[in-house]
Structure 1
Amino acid sequence: MLDSSLIQKSSRVYRPGFTLIEVLVVMTIIIVLAGIVISVQRGVYHKQSQAKAKGEMQAIATALESFKLKYGDYPWLGDDNTASTRNPEKLFNLLTGSEIMFNQNGTVMIGQPPNNRATTAFLGESEIKTDSDTDPTYFVDPWGNPYRYYYKNLSSPDSWEYPAFILMSAGPDGTFTASKLSNGAIDTDPESYFGDAGNSSDFDNLVHGFEF
């Protein structure tokens, strides 16, 4: 008579493990799927950041309109360029009420209020993210870059050609071409600013204040 234990052993089915090729295929699929998920997440974050930037620029624009109602015009600031934050700092000071714009002997000035003149805050420091929580100096977009403001220049106000102000976020890459907006001579063709005719670094910029 055959031993029952031998019969049980012989009836077991042999199940080989995964081959190296099968493991590599599975790993490749996982990597591809992970890449798709990351790309989707980045796309969602980018759209959310764009929407937030547009909303914040609208809030700044509303504050600028209130500023104009009080002082008769939008803030006149100095030149803006890619390296300096002087322009965003002055805009921050004027909208939060730490400085004012006033006329002194026929000259428009920006600075501390003369003769203890009262100031008005048109936009709170907590309403839009700033460069610092403890000592803020300018408003920043969702990518941490200062919002840029373009309007009349204190030294040559008559050179400004656009009827209102222009606000800009430099977008995710933080780069922009200031010269295209510095005098308000806006071309109605978007390609002249965002496209091949412009600088490729401007492609992701968000501009508020004019429509193409």
Structure 2
Amino acid sequence: MKKTILFTPENRAKRAFTLVEILIVIAIIAVLAALTTRVADSVTQAQGRSRAAADMAAIAVGLDAFKGMYNDYPRLSAKGGVENCARRLYKCLAGQSYMKVEDRQVKFIDVDKESDYKPLLDVTLMRIGDPSDPDAPVSNYDNDRNAFIDPWGNPYLYYYDTSIMVGSIGAWEGTSFFLMSMGEDGESAEVQSMFSNGIMPNEDDYRSNVKNVDNIVYGWD
């Protein structure tokens, strides 16, 4: 004979979750979501730093090729501002401009766009854009406003080293230029002074400034 189970109000109460149990489940879900978000942010940050380091390594190869052609690295200054310097660096490595020194004056000559100029690195593999509006679509690779952009939307910074002490910091291995990404916060201390004298401070002094903590410097990172 089948046994019939009657669902009385008392039985239903025993089968339901209590308010405490529901709150515990919600708290566990919230903790797991927070941990997942933190891990995702860390992965994104690591990917950004990795991409920036790879970009700067490619730019460095292009700069060495430029030196091989013109016997010196691009002598760029910050007189026209960081963005203009970044645009000029792009033109030099994209094969759209070359450097000429006459009577101790540095001149950059734009190449005729109709000529068969050759880029010194594959710009199609880099993120490029207008530093003043890095998210705008790139219409063409000959745009005078183009620059190499880091993963956080800022132009890579290039410094021509004017110091006779070049190579005194072992990590630089005798290079005559500095490359830097300002990192996720887009901030950096001492930028203008480094543009003016071409000399980077030593790493400990540089990293001690909170604005430079997340910066990525070619040769240090």
The bucket for the TM-score relative to the shorter chain is: 0.7 to 0.9
What is the match of residue 162 of structure 1?
166
| Structure 2 counterpart SS, 1:193 | helix
The TM-score, its normalising length taken from structure 1, stands at 0.80
The answer (yes or no) to whether the contact 1:169–1:207 under 8 Å persists in 2 is: yes
Q: Deviation above 4 Å: which 4+ runs of structure 1? A: 10-14, 116-119, 158-161
What is the match of residue 37 of structure 1?
36
5+ residue gaps in structure 1?
A: 153-157
Please tell me the residue identity of whatever aligns with 2:214: D
In the TM superposition, residue 121 of structure 1 has moved relative to its aligned partner by 1.5
Tell me the distance in 2 between the aligned counterparts of 1:102 and 1:10. 94
What is the match of residue 90 of structure 1?
88
What is the match of residue 183 of structure 2?
171
Task: Tell me the alpha carbon deviations over residues 98-144 of structure 1, each in whole angstroms, 9 at most, x when there is no partner.
Answer: 11111234422113249x99744112321211124214510111111
Distance 1:85 1:160, change over 3 A: farther
Task: Tell me the alpha carbon deviations over residues 29-61 of structure 1, each in whole angstroms, 9 at most, x when there is no partner.
Answer: 101101101111111111111111101100000
After superposition, residues 198-209 of structure 1 pair within 5 angstroms as: 198=209, 200-209=210-219
Distance 1:180 1:16, change over 3 A: farther
| Structure 1 counterpart SS, 2:78 | coil
5+ residue gaps in structure 2?
A: 130-136, 168-175
Residue 194 (1) aligns with residue 192 (2): no
Tell me the distance in 2 between the aligned counterparts of 1:106 and 1:187. 27
What is the match of residue 143 of structure 1?
152
Q: How many residues align?
A: 196
What is the match of residue 21 of structure 1?
20
Distance 1:119 1:101, change over 3 A: farther
Distance 1:121 1:16, change over 3 A: same
Larger Rg: 1
The answer (yes or no) to whether the contact 1:162–1:184 under 8 Å persists in 2 is: no
The TM-score, its normalising length taken from structure 2, stands at 0.77
What is the match of residue 155 of structure 1?
none
What is the match of residue 70 of structure 1?
69
The answer (yes or no) to whether the contact 1:180–1:193 under 8 Å persists in 2 is: no
Tell me the distance in 2 between the aligned counterparts of 1:161 and 1:78. 19
Please tell me the residue identity of whatever aligns with 1:181: M
| Structure 2 counterpart SS, 1:38 | helix
Percent identity for Structure 1 against Structure 2: 30
Distance 1:106 1:8, change over 3 A: closer
RMSD value, Cα: 3.0
Please tell me the residue identity of whatever aligns with 2:138: D
